[in-house]
Amino acid sequence: MTEPHSAHRDPHGSRIDRRTTARKLLDAELDKLPPEERVAVERFIHRRHVSRNVAREYACRRTLGERVSDRVAQVGGSWGFITGFGAFLLVWVLLNTFLLAKAFDPYPYILLNLFLSCLAAIQAPIIMMSQNRQAAVDRLRAENDYQVNIKSELEILQVHEKLNQLREQDWAMLVELQNRQIEMLQRLLEQATQASEPPKAGA
């Protein structure tokens, strides 16, 4: 019969149960733990990895709208967009003020104001969608970091348990060796005492 994954056996035959280690650290039954802690504990017990690239996983599941919103937020929040849009406004004003004999949008530039209002009304919710998605990624990353921390604490506690067990075994072995040495010294002392005694008369 094979040994379960939750236990580790050392060369001396001792056994450390990883499930017991988890209970000792968390001070609770595994079935009563929150989902994120239960996942980390189960992966610790079965010796599985916890850390993962949350951003890459989320990026692979993005829809077309989410990809568009990310791109809009990336472009709209750059100096390149600010510079280009500022140049566009300057050209618009120069054309309708000085260069065109018959301006299509004379001062106070009502068409330009309408265009800017429509752009702001469309751009704002798109950027908010990207920010919401990034917030969701941050929450997933925080949960993953929390699971990694739990598993790391469990692994450290497991190492301490192993070291304590090895230390106790070493002490027991040392005491046993000392007892054997004492017995050997006592026998040698008895033999030396018997050899030093003079022979009895008439023997």
Containing H/E element for 191? helix 110-196
In this predicted structure, what is the pLDDT of residue 24?
64
In this predicted structure, what is the pLDDT of residue 91?
93
In this predicted structure, what is the pLDDT of residue 6?
45
Residue 2 lies in a domain: no
Residue 198 lies in a domain: no
In this predicted structure, what is the pLDDT of residue 62?
81
Residue 196 lies in a domain: no
Phi-psi region of 13 (alpha: psi -120 to 50; beta: other; left: phi over 0): left
Q: How many distinct structural domains can be found in the chain?
A: 1
Q: Give how far the C-alpha of residue 35 lies from the chain's centroid of Cα atoms, to the nearest Å.
A: 15
Residue 172 lies in a domain: yes
Residue 151 lies in a domain: yes
In this predicted structure, what is the pLDDT of residue 87?
95
Residue 200 lies in a domain: no
Angstrom distance (rounded) from CA 203 to CA 106? 144
Query: Which residue segment(s) compose the domain that 44 sits in?
Result: 7-189
Query: Is the CB of residue 178 less than 8 Å from the CB of residue 186?
Result: no
What is the amino acid identity at position 166?
L
> Mean pLDDT per 10-residue run, the chain (203 residues)?
43 56 61 66 67 73 84 87 92 88 87 92 88 85 81 79 80 84 85 72 53
Angstrom distance (rounded) from CA 105 to CA 103? 5
Angstrom distance (rounded) from CA 44 to CA 149? 11
Residue 202 lies in a domain: no
Angstrom distance (rounded) from CA 49 to CA 30? 18
